[in-house]
Amino acid sequence: MIELWFAFAAVMVAVYVVLDGFDFGAGALHLTVAKSDTERRQVLAAIGPFWDGNEVWLLAAGGVLFLAFPKVLAAGLSGFYLAIFLLLWVLILRGVSIELRSHVADPMWRSFWDAGFAVASTLAPVLLGAALGNVLRGVPVGAEGWFALPLFASVRPSGALGVLDWYTVLIGLVALAALLHHGALFLAWKTDGPVHARSRAWASRLFPATAVLWIAATAATAEVAPRTFEGVAGKPLVWAASLLLVAGLGTSFGARRLGRDRTAFLGSAAFLLGTLAAIAASVYPTWLASTIDPAYSLTAPNSAASPASLRAGLYWWPFGLLLALAYLALLLHLHRGKAKAAAEGEGY
């Protein structure tokens, strides 16, 4: 039962990264792939039906942690307090920028909100990647199950720890490159004309950056958090997920070269899913590793809710998942084809 809920939480996080990741990438790139107001409205039309629904998966991940692993959620919210508020402000800025940019037909007004949208969409992957880096590196969880981290304490991922050091920033840059690539492939699939051509060009540039940074981050993880790779030989899920991520990365490259934009985007999605699945399978059963004493680490067994609560959750979780997937499928069906910029006064 505990293993099942650990997997549920990992699935929620992975789906969130894949879905909200493409609109993060599209938002961060939209000032470069779209040169005119009409082209920027085309980018917004491509992600407009999806972006707010995609963020629901982050809430779903938090809901699973609240139900199944409340100690982990409580410790994480308090320990990463400042970083979480920074992420919330970034997400708020993205939403406000999308909604307000077309309320006034003034170039300066729209340029201001477009810049805010691009900055927020760039910072969000970095913050989320840094959070993943902290989970892999470890945090100073004490005997009481709590910890506190400043935003920055030292450039080294040892000794006095902060949310940001060279390792967590590296993971943040990997996340940024991967989601920029993901967003470029999404825009190549969902747009036409100049935006389509520029998006394909950016995807071509971002692919090697993503691959190189991913290799560098894997090597850095082996150095900073060698426990991640301990016992991997006996974990078939790690190998299966690793095959998925390699196949996904190769598919995104080959399909893009062949002009099969949707397949390339799905390959990028497989790469992200495989990467996160491999990480989850590698670190299980640890949620938050303690850098003070491994005995203080928050793991799935020592932080799980009661068996009765976990069993009760199984009654609603499959229904909620199917409802969310049905909603996503409906959106994809209703908004199939290439996105067109909305007329002035209509839409974004």
Quote the pLDDT of residue 52. 87
pLDDT for 265 beyond 70: yes
Report DSSP state, residue 80. Answer: T
Q: pLDDT digits over 159-198, tens only?
A: 889 999 999 999 999 999 999 999 999 999 999 999 999 9
pLDDT for 25 beyond 70: yes
pLDDT for 240 beyond 80: yes
* Mean predicted confidence (pLDDT) in 51-71: 92
Dihedral sign of CA atoms 301, 302, 308, 313 in order: negative
Q: Please check whether residue 346 lies inside any domain of the structure.
A: no
Cα–Cα distance for residue pair 151/4, rounded to 1 Å: 33
pLDDT for 124 beyond 70: yes
SS3 at position 324: helix
Q: Please check whether residue 342 lies inside any domain of the structure.
A: no
| DSSP-assigned letters across all residues of 157-222 | SSSS--SBSHHHHHHHHHHHHHHHHHHHHHHHHH--HHHHHHHHHHHHHHHHHHHHHHHHHHHHHH
Count of C-beta atoms within a 10 Å radius of residue 336 = 8
pTM reported for the whole predicted model:
0.95
Give 245: exposed, middle or buried? Use CB within 10 Å, 0-12, 13-18, 19+: buried
pLDDT for 151 beyond 70: yes
* Mean predicted confidence (pLDDT) in 297-318: 93
Cα–Cα distance for residue pair 304/74, rounded to 1 Å: 12
The model's confidence at residue 46, banded by pLDDT at 50, 70 and 90, is very high
Q: Please check whether residue 154 lies inside any domain of the structure.
A: yes
Quote the pLDDT of residue 143. 93
Quote the pLDDT of residue 346. 64
Q: Please check whether residue 199 lies inside any domain of the structure.
A: yes
Q: Please check whether residue 340 lies inside any domain of the structure.
A: no
pLDDT for 94 beyond 70: yes
The model's confidence at residue 302, banded by pLDDT at 50, 70 and 90, is very high
How many structural domains is the chain composed of? Answer: 1
Quote the pLDDT of residue 158. 85
* Mean predicted confidence (pLDDT) in 147-153: 90
* Phi/psi at 287 (5° precision): -90, -55
For residue 297, give its domain range.
2-334
Q: Please check whether residue 179 lies inside any domain of the structure.
A: yes
Quote the pLDDT of residue 347. 65
The model's confidence at residue 102, banded by pLDDT at 50, 70 and 90, is confident
Residue 137 near residue 225 (C-beta atoms within 8 A): yes
Q: Which two tokens stand for residue 29?
A: 């790139």
Strands 298-299 and 286-288: antiparallel
Q: Please check whether residue 305 lies inside any domain of the structure.
A: yes
SS3 at position 116: helix
pLDDT for 277 beyond 90: yes
Cα–Cα distance for residue pair 151/170, rounded to 1 Å: 15
Quote the pLDDT of residue 35. 93
Give 60: exposed, middle or buried? Use CB within 10 Å, 0-12, 13-18, 19+: buried
Residue 27 near residue 186 (C-beta atoms within 8 A): no
Quote the pLDDT of residue 209. 97
pLDDT for 341 beyond 90: no
How far does Cα 209 stand from its chain's mean position? 17
* Phi/psi at 143 (5° precision): -65, -25
Quote the pLDDT of residue 345. 63
Q: Please check whether residue 347 lies inside any domain of the structure.
A: no
